[in-house]
């Protein structure tokens, strides 16, 4: 009897953890896009008022972004292109993010502001979508995982 109860707890825990992992993927996307839209806003103000150089920008990137683009400031400045290989993002999103970082700092000040505005609008739209998806599905995945584990336990035992 105790073995059945322990087996049930392990089964429900495993399926619940699977649901939590699925919800974490949505959270990662949401956090990344929140940070990149904030970065765009900061870049615009830095370009207008402080004339910050690209090496300072790359060194001050938030950890959420650094983890995803996997290029440090020295590699970026030396001309290494950014490529995103994170499967959390779709192919188009990976290409857009890589294009943003690869073309960052290649324009004059007004061109850079227009460039950042363009990507800000694009990333802001995705940020809003990610926020809605996260709100709808984050608790859903956890609950479905727990219920699925309980259902399998009831059917098997």
pLDDT tens-place string over residues 15-25: 999 989 888 88
Total number of domains in the chain: 1
pTM for this entry: 0.76
Mean pLDDT, the chain, whole residue set: 82
pLDDT tens digits, one per residue of 47-67:
777 766 666 776 667 777 777
Q: What is the pLDDT of residue 49?
A: 75
**Nearest residue to 21 via CA among 88, 91, 97:** 88
User: In whole angstroms, what is the distance from residue 29 CA to residue 35 CA?
Assistant: 10
Q: Which of 8-22, 70-84, 106-120 has the highest mean pLDDT?
A: 8-22
Confidence of residue 2 (pLDDT cuts 50, 70, 90): confident
Say whether pLDDT at 73 is over 70. no
Supply the range of the domain harboring residue 42: 2-156
CB atoms within 10 A of CB 89: 19
């Amino acid at each position: 009897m105790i073995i059945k109860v322990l087996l049930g707890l392990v089964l429900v825990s495993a399926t619940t953890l699977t649901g939590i992992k699925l919800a974490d993927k949505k959270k990662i996307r949401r956090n990344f896009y929140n940070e990149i839209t904030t970065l765009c806003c900061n870049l615009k103000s830095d370009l207008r008022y402080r004339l910050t150089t690209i090496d300072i920008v790359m060194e001050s990137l938030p950890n959420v972004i650094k983890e995803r683009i996997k290029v440090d400031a020295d590699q970026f400045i030396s001309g290494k292109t950014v490529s995103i290989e994170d499967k959390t993002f779709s192919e188009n999103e990976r290409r857009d993010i890589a294009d943003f970082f690869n073309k960052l700092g290649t324009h004059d000040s007004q061109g850079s502001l227009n460039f950042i505005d363009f990507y800000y609008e694009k990333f802001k739209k995705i940020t809003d979508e990610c926020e809605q998806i996260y709100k709808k599905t984050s608790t859903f995945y956890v609950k479905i995982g727990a219920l699925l584990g309980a259902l399998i336990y009831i059917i098997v035992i």
